[in-house]
Amino acid sequence: MNYRIFPPEELPECSITLPLSKSMSARAVIINTLQHADMQDMRLSDCTDTEAILRGINTLSGTVNVDNSGTSMRFLTSFYAATPGAEVELDGCERMRQRPIAPLVQALKECGASIQYLGQEGFPPLKIRGSRLKGGHISVDATISSQFISALMMTAPYMEQGLKISLDGETSSRPYILMTAEMMNRAGASVEIDSGSIIIQPIPYTTPIDSIEPDWSAAGFWYEIEALTSGFITLEGQLHPSVQGDALTARIFSSLGVDTEYTDSGAELVASPELSPRLQLDLSATPDLAPALVVTCVMLRIPFNFSGMESLTVKECDRVEALCREMLLVGAVLDASLPGILSWDGVPRPIQALPEFSSYSDHRMAMALAPVAAYLPGIIIREAECVAKSYPDFWEQMRLAGFIVQDENDPIPPQFADLQ
């Protein structure tokens, strides 16, 4: 499905209901399942990632395919390994078979897990036979994905000795680890974290997780839209305080012309004249914000230097490479010559044609590129359906904000007839 997008005729004025956090939902599913809690009436994110992990926890034998859900692959690997009687072949799409999982598998094996690679060493698919794990003290490479750490943490209360995890290297997406610890402690576990280690006692969960916050990573795309349109956008739901690391979105976008006013029912995004002349950020704690930030800076002609981008190369696509390619279409030559760093000098080049963007079947790429329509009416987003991974209602809510989102082959709206 390819969409052509046109901007609102007036400044966007809308109230947006964000999806529930898929990160919190995935953790709640694992934590609640391990304590045999009833989740029948629990409100969770309705995205395909959550659907994948729900299918997984209800399938303890045979083949489980998580498609492109990296969260499900990592969390279910640990869940199956720690569930006595489980015997599963865990697989995913072709891209999933290119995403590394060796640090998690090695750590689980050191805890006593039975896991075999069915294809290339270090990558899915996996053959997993579950048992009660012994736990103990392990070291894990923390530079690739915080989800390896979270996956181990959530099953640790059921290991015979509990678990001490020593973190090797600069921890990627540390706020997600802190969110996992917060949810585990809320559920009755005992988790202690310092700068270089995590200690989980062998104390099972006692209290189900019963509420999920709105998704701050989804909110980032509305901050982007506000930065590019100076509209009147309200985000509904309890956004502050939040356990999500991506709540830093509000502070970061204050340098890009968007202020946040929290209310009892959500947050109002307010256009501000304050624009940073140059943005320099370490995104190692919040890498999912990178696509929206890069596109915003390019369209506002704000030079930037973003470090901490290492984990973006192993997402649904290589987001660093994808951003470099797609920003060329809007006249920006990004520099990714240094590992983990993406920068731009702020100098635009001529645009050769109206962009037809590839999403790379990556939900965050599709959503980050869509607001470019505010500056370049009629852009195309290819494989637009991929947003269902985290935000199924995104296109409908863009329409609510006044954008015209239509099939690429539909007639051009009359007000944009000069584009033909």
- For 203-267, the three-class secondary structure string (H helix, E strand, C coil) is CCCCCCCCCCCECHHHHHHHHHHHHHHCCEEEEECCCCCCCCHHHHHHHHHCCEEEEEEEECCEE
Distance (Å) of CA 356 to CA 6, 79, 362, 363: 13, 41, 15, 16
DSSP reduced 3-state for 388:
helix
Percentages of the chain per state (helix, strand, coil), in multiples of 5: 35, 20, 40
Sheet holding 232-236, edge to edge: 13-17, 232-236, 266-275, 256-263
- Please give the structure tokens belonging to residue 18: 């964000």
Distance (Å) of CA 17 to CA 89, 244, 350, 378: 37, 17, 37, 26
- CA–CA separation, 391 vs 231, rounded Å? 21
Phi, psi of 289 (to 5 degrees): -80, -15
123 within 8 A of 100, measured Cβ to Cβ: yes
Catalytic residue list contains 288: yes
Q: Which residues contact 231 (CB under 8 A, 6 or more apart)?
A: 8, 11, 12, 13, 14, 225, 271, 401
193 within 8 A of 114, measured Cβ to Cβ: no
Q: Which residue among the candidates 91, 141, 215, 288 is catalytic per the annotation? A: 288
Phi, psi of 180 (to 5 degrees): -60, -45
In DSSP terms, 6 is beta-bridged to 404
Distance (Å) of CA 126 to CA 56, 91, 101, 301, 360: 14, 7, 10, 45, 25
DSSP reduced 3-state for 271:
strand
Q: Which residue reads 């392990």 in tokens?
A: 138
- CA–CA separation, 48 vs 386, rounded Å? 9
Prior bond of 125 cis (ω within 30°): yes
DSSP reduced 3-state for 270:
strand
Catalytic residues: 288
